[in-house]
Every structure is written in C-alpha cells, then in structure tokens.
Amino acid sequence: MFETKIAVVVRDDLAVWQKLNVTAFLASGIAAAQPETIGQPYVDALGRGHTALFGQPVLVFAATGDALRRAYARAREGGLVIAPYIEAIFATGHDAANRAVFAAGEADSQTWAGLALHGPRKAVDRAVKGLKLHG
C-alpha cells in the first residue's frame, strides 16, 4: 500500500484523442512536480536500459465538467499537487501559449478538460470521491 496516490481525472465528453492527450500531459505534470513518484529505470535481459516510469499506480477517472470542478475544489482544500488542463489549451500550439490561456482566467471558473492529483492517499480519495474509473 502506497502512502501517496496519483489520480488523473478526464472530462468524459472529450474525443478519444483528447482524453489520451490530456492524460499524457497531466501525468507528465505530476512527474515534473513530484520526482519522488518516479521508480527505477527498466533493464531488459540483454542489459539494455529503458526509462523509469512512475513507481506507483496511476488511476484514471472519468468526470463531467461539474464533477471536475468539484474534484478541483476538493484537491485545493486538501492541499494536493494539481496538474491543470483546461479546454482552451486545445486551441494553442505550444507550452507558453498554454500557460497564457490558463493565466487569462481564474482556475475556479475555467472549463476543465482534466486534472491530475498527487498527495496523501486519503486526501486524493476525498478529491475523487464519487468518480468512476475511466472505462
């Protein structure tokens, strides 16, 4: 049992490519912010090295826009690490533009596409309470 938990919450009405894109970007946000979540590099039987991955499971949940906003509010209240992805980022073409559209509004009122959370297991569970694993 891990003391911390990683959860990715993706809006359920996005196109499949958008859900996958959002999940990948959000996972990278947690990895960047929380390097202790990364395990050891992989080595195959021939001794060839491969990159390390998260050292703990990542649970991916589906949510409506309203449920995403609730999860965001709970995550803020719980002091969790939050990786954000808002709908406006789909219209940008690079990282600086992503940050600019995010900065243009208050996070509480953004149209969320997804978010990733990391923190104590119980606090993450509270933030995603009522959400179902993505199917």
Query: What pLDDT sits at residue 1?
Result: 84
Determine the Cα–Cα distance for residues 41 and 36; give it in Å rounded to an integer.
Answer: 13
pLDDT in tens, 118-131: 999 999 999 999 99
Residues of the chain with pLDDT under 50: none
Instruction: Please name the fold of domain 4-39+52-133.
Output: Bit1 (3.40.1490)
pLDDT in tens, 90-110: 999 999 999 999 999 999 889
User: Which residue in 43, 125, 25, 1 sits closest to 10, CA to CA?
Assistant: 25
User: Domain-by-domain residue ranges, the chain?
Assistant: 4-39+52-133
Answer yes or no: pTM beyond 0.85.
yes
Determine the Cα–Cα distance for residues 13 and 121; give it in Å rounded to an integer.
Answer: 27
